[in-house]
């Protein structure tokens, strides 16, 4: 157990729907990162939150949004889902704004299947 908890583990939904993925960071970590992993694109950075505020944004679609709550858990909202959104979504956490020598601690991911 890495200490980063992601729920749900699996999600199957229809095109056009909206889903919410949840992440609880490792205790004491203030940064949360979201990544999308697909076979052809590899690991793509979506967004980072640090202590409740957005810190960095990657290639996140406008249909996707995220937030980090006062208790530091984070949610990634995916709307108007398309078949191409099917992927593994990982959450990672780190103690500070930048990973430095700590690196990230990853959760085990949420596998999203859009049908």
Partner 1 sequence: GEDVEQSLFLSVREGDSSVINCTYTDSSSTYLYWYKQEPGAGLQLLTYIFSNMDMKQDQRLTVLLNKKDKHLSLRIADTQTGDSAIYFCAESINGGSQGNLIFGKGTKLSVKP
Binding site for partner 1 (CB under 8 A): 2, 4, 31, 33, 35, 42-43, 45, 48, 50, 55-56, 58, 90, 92, 94, 97-101, 103-109
d(CA 105, CA 95): 9
Shortest approach of partner 1 to residue 30 CB, angstroms?
Answer: 10
d(CA 57, CA 26): 21
Instruction: Choose between 15 and 98: whose C-beta lies nearer to partner 1.
Output: 98
Instruction: Choose between 14 and 100: whose C-beta lies nearer to partner 1.
Output: 100
Query: CB–CB of 54/48 below 8 Å?
Result: yes
Shortest approach of partner 1 to residue 52 CB, angstroms?
Answer: 14
Cα dihedral sign for 104, 73, 47, 86? positive
Instruction: Choose between 70 and 103: whose C-beta lies nearer to partner 1.
Output: 103
d(CA 73, CA 32): 8
């Amino acid at each position: 157990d890495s200490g980063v908890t992601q729920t749900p583990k699996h999600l199957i939904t229809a095109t056009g729907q909206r889903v919410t993925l949840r992440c609880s960071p490792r205790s004491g970590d203030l940064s949360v990162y979201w990544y999308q992993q697909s076979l052809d694109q590899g690991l793509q950075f979506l967004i980072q939150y640090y202590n409740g505020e957005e810190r960095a944004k990657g290639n996140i679609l406008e249909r996707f949004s995220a937030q980090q709550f006062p208790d530091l858990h984070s949610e990634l909202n995916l709307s108007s889902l398309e078949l191409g959104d099917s992927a593994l979504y990982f959450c990672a956490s780190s103690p500070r704004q930048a990973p430095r020598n700590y690196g990230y601690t990853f959760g085990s991911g949420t596998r999203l299947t859009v049908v």
